[in-house]
Amino acid sequence: MIRISRPKSIPSVLRKKGRRLTRADEKEYQRDPQAFRDGSKRFAFDRSVYADASVKKALLAAQHDKCAFCESKPLPVSDGDVEHFRPKAAVQQAVSTPCERPGYYWLAYAWHNLLFSCERCNRRHKKSLFPLVDPQQRARIPTDPIETEQPIFINPAEEDPSAHISFREHVPIARNGSRRGKRTIQALGLDREHLNEARETHLKLLNHIFLLTRLPGIPPEHRTSAEDLLRRMTTDQAEYASMSRIAVATWQAQ
């Protein structure tokens, strides 16, 4: 997971249609809050708005076509998801606790609440999970002070994930025992088997390239090419950049 710089410019469909739908949802909730709390009524969120092509394109550009959480590039094999950091329909403090309804319904079309993610991270792992340090501080309606919440999950669009998550070779670990790092890794499945395997393969290739840059007697043009490739594999645009940077720094130190 790396820091994401989301554009400040809000896509037009969110500014216009999204805001209209948000106001309509807020009025609908006010008519019968209890029905939404007990699940007898649910919001009909318009995916064509929050996942509009213009929204997805802007997120993909900001995230270099990578999942905000695992840094995989899913587009060659799947469409990926426009994901809500704060879940819109329902919310869970933990897997073992029941879903509470509604979720952060007023943020369904909020630009600052959207990220691009792979389907595995979003649908298989995160789902409605959104734990807080103190769940009593959870915002329930639009007028609640959301800034008093202390989310446990790391939001890469608002903070630097490297303060909480590091790597031991290809396996993610909590940096300095960070509780938030540990919970984020576990809940989002950032240490899942197939993802670890993909990172391990990537790391082996990276290591071979690194060794080429240190190989005595290698022709200058080949060394330059290897150094350029090594540099590109540690930029924000590359898959698993956070792991790659740590690995290269470790090898250089050794």
pLDDT the model gives residue 254: 87
Coil, helix or strand at residue 84: strand
Based on C-alpha coordinates, what's the Rg of the chain? 21
d(CA 161, CA 154): 6
- Bridge-based pairing state of the strands 171-174 and 165-168: antiparallel
Task: Tell me if the bond preceding 220 is cis, omega within 30° of 0.
Answer: no
Instruction: Report the first-to-last Cα separation within the chain, whole angstroms.
Output: 25
What distance lies between CA 144 and its chain's CA centroid? 24
d(CA 79, CA 94): 28
- Measured CA angle at 152 (ends 134, 42), to 5 deg: 75
Report residues of the chain scoring pLDDT below 70. Answer: none
Q: Is 116 exposed, middle or buried (0-12, 13-18, 19+ CB in 10 A)?
A: buried
Q: Judge contact between 195 and 1, C-beta under 8 A.
A: no
- Bridge-based pairing state of the strands 114-117 and 81-84: antiparallel
Q: Which residues contact 57 (CB under 8 A, 6 or more apart)?
A: none
Residue burial 51-60, b: 16+ Cβ < 10 Å; e: rest: bbeebbebbb
pLDDT the model gives residue 44: 95
Tokens 């740590």 label which residue? 246
Sign of CA dihedral 211, 216, 222, 224: positive
Against a cut of 0.75, is the pTM above it? yes
Q: Judge contact between 78 and 65, C-beta under 8 A.
A: no
